[in-house]
Chains A and B, each alone.
Chain A
Amino acid sequence: MSAPRPAPRNGAAPRPTLAVFKLASCDGCQLTLLDCEDELLTVAGRVEIAHFLEASSAVRPGPYDLALVEGSVTTPQDAERVREIRAAARFLVTIGACATAGGIQALRDFADVEEFRATVYARPDYIATLATSTPVSAHVPVDFELRGCPIDRGQLLEVITAFLAGRKPDVPDHSVCFACKRRGTVCVTVAHGTPCLGPVTHAGCGAICPAYGRGCYGCFGPSGSVNLPALIPLLRRDGMSEDDVRRALRTYNAASFVEVEGAGAGGAGVKGAPS
């Protein structure tokens, strides 16, 4: 990703424009922006919010300097919309597990979506949907992917600030384990035999779960260098069945953990669709 060109800043120069879009999602990642209570009005003063339906009825047409996209592509219409958003955006950043890895709705990828449709709807024929839930990057080039279900407020502000300043966001891709060490949290696996996906999960949340006495359940998706074959026997030792392990890897970032399973885990015993 190259650094953005800051907008010219002479007297009448327009502020950079920010747009927020939503595909299939829960709204949680864009709500994270509204949850930056201390910084919201400051951010709003530095950018021109050109399109952010959750926050404003004022909708200005593109092009946009920075587009944040939440949610995954699950309909033919959204596949088209994501191309339009790309065409209108100088920089496109995906926010959250849905936009970055297909999200929880990617569980359909391992199942029969026709059957899903019939389970939920009496008239499945009224419902238009794709058989898959794919990340934005499967459709268009993406400048930066911010992980998490939901994303972390601090990381979001870092990404916005970095783009405004014309530099690369400082979002490291080490594992949750590093964050536990930094926070001074005693390792739940070593101390209590609690199964934890922290060793293979991308940092960013600040290692919340272990601090609350539970194992990480992987909501930030796989970290940079993942050693699943080493982790799986530990999870089994700590009481997880093969099905439990499979389900744990296949939830909020199903599609990307499965990529890792395919690439790294080989015969690690986590193959096959859940249930």
Chain B
Amino acid sequence: MTHRGSRVLHVGPLARVEGEGALHLTVDDGTVTGAELRIYEPPRFFEAFLRGRSHTEPPDITARVCGICPVAYQMSACRAVEDACGVTVDGQLAALRRLLYCGEWIESQILHIHLLHAPDFLGVDGAVELARTQRAHVERGLRIKQAGNAILEQLGGRAIHPVNVRLGGFHRVPATGELGPLAERLRRARDDAWQTVCWVAGFDFPDAGLDHALLALAEPGRYAIDSGTPTVMAAPHTHGLPSGTAAPLPLRQFPVYAFPSEVTEEQVPYSTALQAALDGERYLTGSLARYAISGRWLSPLAQEAARAGGLGDPAAGKVCRNPFRSIVVRAVEALYAIDEALRIIDAYEPPPRPYVAVPPRAGTGHGATEAPRGLLYHRYTLDAAGLITAATLVPPTSQNQGAIEDDLRRLVQARLDTGAGDTEAELTALCERGIRNHDPCISCSAHFLDLTVDTVDRARRSPPCP
């Protein structure tokens, strides 16, 4: 079972991620020569059926791409259509959008930390099992999550696929004082989130280091969520440094409208998700990228939490390239989102109108925002009547797929190199953890991991994805 060079593994479904995928590893005499993350989530064709729809429809329709991050879809859609129509939304309306997005960040990051990811570090199958031994931690997670959902419900109408978002702003905006009870709940959640940072910081983190470029939006003055300029931090190897280097590397920016020329998408035969490359290389987006690029713009409280959580000082440009520690970065981000939501609520004054008009015009618009799991780009082309003639959605998971594959290749290689002779179950558990480190949403681009490890000389391909 464990002799090198002749290993074939078939492993059951991957749990605690969204959507469906499989992993195929090729091992050639003890060396991992190929890693294919096969996303076989059935295609849903959003880009095709958006054509012929009105320019007012993408926020509601594209929300349905993903039940975990509908607001990300709504916000990227609004930005892209508004860009096509030459409209900018600012002031209190923009602040309310950011508040809604904070609700989704809190809900999604806490869901991932407490229900999906923490079980990996504590050796249990899921949150229900976790609740048997660590009930207080699970209950605290549920409380924080509920505070995030409360923002979504009050401002958006409901937590999943909020109904109150429209082009130019909202259908209805909160009256003065209406957000008061929410603030009270968020203050409690802020204390809870601090506890969560401390809890996850105490987990055992295997050594690992990423060697990819990182891509995230950046917006000087604040941590980028709902807007910003695409910013790339170079990969360590391009500077002759070891992977996992925690020093900041040079940054490069490009405008959102240059996304299609900077990021190339390619279809790979084994997956329904397209794979993206930047400068011809694999790259990573998401919490680690945001933290590396914008860490110094975190609120003072979130920066303090990062230091307390063992991430080093973000103000001094310390980055985190250990994917296992992404759970700590996520906890810091959740705390930031709560802090930021409170800041927005404190400064809130109802705008004169719930939305600005977005009259259609012919043209193409681009929009990018930071979904909890990474940068989400939308592009729409409209005709003069406002009907969509072309739509492109580039979700975070398809961008991250290549980097995740490479990360898994390294993880498995490091295990093989120890000569530990891991069993199927051990290797699978390792790969599953490696995948969950990136909180991939495979619906937007997966729930099953069928792990297959093949020897290359037999060149046997596993059967086509179900």
Contact = CB atoms under 8 A, between A and B. Distances in A.
B158 interface: yes
Interface residues of B, number: 74
A124 B300 CA distance: 50
A59 B464 contact: no
A41 B158 CA distance: 22
Contact of A208 (B48, B158, B443): B158
A59 B447 CA distance: 12
A214 B145 CA distance: 27
A247 B386 CA distance: 14
Interface in B279-305: none
A105 interface: yes
Interface of A: 22-32, 34-35, 37-38, 40-41, 44, 49, 52-59, 74-75, 77-78, 103-105, 107-108, 111, 113, 115-117, 119-123, 126-129, 149-150, 205, 208-209, 211-214, 217, 219, 244, 247, 251-252, 274-275
B366 interface: no
Nearest to A41: B131
Contacts of A108: 45, 48-49
A150 B70 CA distance: 11
Interface of B: 12-20, 41-49, 51-54, 57, 60-61, 64-68, 70, 111, 115-116, 119, 125-129, 131, 135, 138-139, 142-143, 145-146, 149, 157-161, 163-164, 166, 170-172, 266-267, 269-270, 272, 274, 354, 387, 432, 443, 447-448, 464, 466
Contacts of A37: 142-143, 145-146, 149
Contact of B115 (A38, A55, A127, A275): A55
Contact of B161 (A59, A103, A219, A247): A219
9 contacts: A26-B66, A41-B142, A104-B64, A121-B267, A126-B267, A126-B270, A209-B163, A212-B157, A252-B64
A150 B161 contact: yes
Nearest to B107: A35
A212 B47 contact: no
A57 B443 contact: no
B166 A55 contact: no
A99 to B, nearest CB: 13
A120 B128 CA distance: 39
A219 B42 CA distance: 22
A33 B46 CA distance: 25
B67 A129 contact: no
B44 A105 contact: yes
A26 B143 contact: no
B42 A74 contact: yes
Contacts of A274: 52-53
Nearest to A20: B447
A120 B43 contact: yes
Nearest to B170: A212
A214 B53 contact: no
Contact of B16 (A35, A53, A123, A150): A53
Contacts of B57: 247, 251
Given A59-B15, A117-B43, A111 B128 contact: no
